[in-house]
């Protein structure tokens, strides 16, 4: 089994009291948050911000200082099994115009409810629910 580690950001923007989350459409067909592999000697937050910039063009994203959520899963590529750990942060941006990278086939800015509907994997929905709890402590 090969171990991999990635970091990403649950990105949101607020305008006129409406909060929307950035969801990327991956070529394999699934919908998920921006994320990517940790490079040598790179800190988790550095990886997350670099990957966000590379995948979306967003450079100004303010990370929440307290949010850090971990997920893990296994997948197979050919005959090789991979164990993947992904660390997610929560980030707010005012940039809504996206420059999508070649790694994706599209993106959407969606409300919390719409994001829950479209996210492909339950572990991503779990992370989104945790962001919602943090951003809406009274609900």
Torsion angle of the four alpha carbons 5, 48, 103, 114, in this order, in degrees rounded to the nearest 10: 110
Q: If phi over 0 gives left and psi between -120 and 50 gives alpha, with beta otherwise, what is residue 52?
A: alpha
Interval 19-39: pLDDT, tens: 999 999 999 899 999 999 999
Full-model pTM: 0.94
Which of the four pLDDT bands, split at 50, 70 and 90, describes residue 11? very high
The confidence band for 102, taking pLDDT boundaries of 50, 70 and 90, is: confident
Measured between alpha carbons, how far is 120 from 91 in angstroms, rounded to an integer? Answer: 21
pLDDT at 139: 61
DSSP string, 58-124: ---EEE-SS--EEEEEEEEETTEEEEEEEEEEEEEES-------TT-SEEEEE-HHHHHHH---HHH
């Amino acid at each position: 089994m090969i171990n991999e580690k990635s970091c990403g950001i649950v990105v949101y923007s607020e305008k006129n009291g409406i909060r929307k989350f950035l969801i990327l459409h991956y070529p394999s067909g699934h919908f998920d948050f921006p994320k990517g592999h940790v490079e040598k000697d790179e800190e988790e937050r550095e990886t997350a911000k670099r990957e966000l910039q590379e995948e979306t063009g967003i450079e100004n994203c303010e990370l929440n200082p307290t949010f850090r959520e971990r997920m893990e899963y296994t997948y197979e590529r050919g005959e090789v099994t991979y164990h993947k750990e992904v660390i997610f942060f929560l980030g707010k941006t005012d940039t809504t115009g996206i420059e999508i990278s070649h790694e994706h086939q599209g993106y959407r800015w969606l409300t919390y409810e719409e994001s829950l509907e479209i996210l492909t994997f339950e572990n991503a929905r779990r992370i989104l629910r945790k962001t919602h709890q943090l951003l809406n402590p009274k609900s």
